[in-house]
Amino acid sequence: MMAETLSKEHTNRWDQISVRGRRVLENLGVISVSPDALNPLEDAMPIALPHVQPPDTFRQALADNLSLAAHGQNTGLEIARPSKLRDGLAFGIAFGLVLAIIVALILLLHSQPARTDAEPE
């Protein structure tokens, strides 16, 4: 019963989104198709994309994860998201070290006098 209600709500929302999207595209002049021309395509969509019903194990795992998250939130546990700054800092340091090594090698090779195999007379 609940799944049917959710399915109807999602269908209604998708219908609203498709109508709004069609209006926007028509107003922009991107499409100028009548709704009657789109009916065969809309009729073919349920066949091409059948309704997906998640397995019961998915629902149970989701319920367990949500209860764990609610418990953590109630106890004051906070899970921090990974920081992009930390990743960028590590990349910057690694790039700087590689660049410093390359510059040091170039300076070292250019500062040494050229060696010749010929003996001075």
Higher pLDDT, 1 or 42: 42
* 3 touches 58 (CB < 8 A): no
pLDDT at residue number 121: 55
| Tens digit of each residue's pLDDT (9 = 90 or more) over 77-119 | 776 777 778 888 889 999 999 999 999 999 988 887 666 665 5
- pLDDT, residue 46, reads 80
- C-alpha distances (whole Å) from 47 to each of 41, 43, 76 are 10, 8, 47
3-class secondary-structure state, position 36: helix
Helix and strand numbers, DSSP H then E, in the chain: 4, 0
Looking at per-residue pLDDT, the higher value among 28 and 121 belongs to 28
Q: What pLDDT score does 7 carry?
A: 62
pTM of the model: 0.30
Question: Confidence class of residue 9 from pLDDT cuts 50, 70 and 90?
Answer: low
* Average pLDDT rounded to a whole number, residues 2-28: 71
Cβ-in-10-Å burial (0-12, 13-18, 19+) of 104 comes to exposed
The per-residue pLDDT for range 29-47, each reduced to its tens digit, is 776 667 677 778 778 888 8
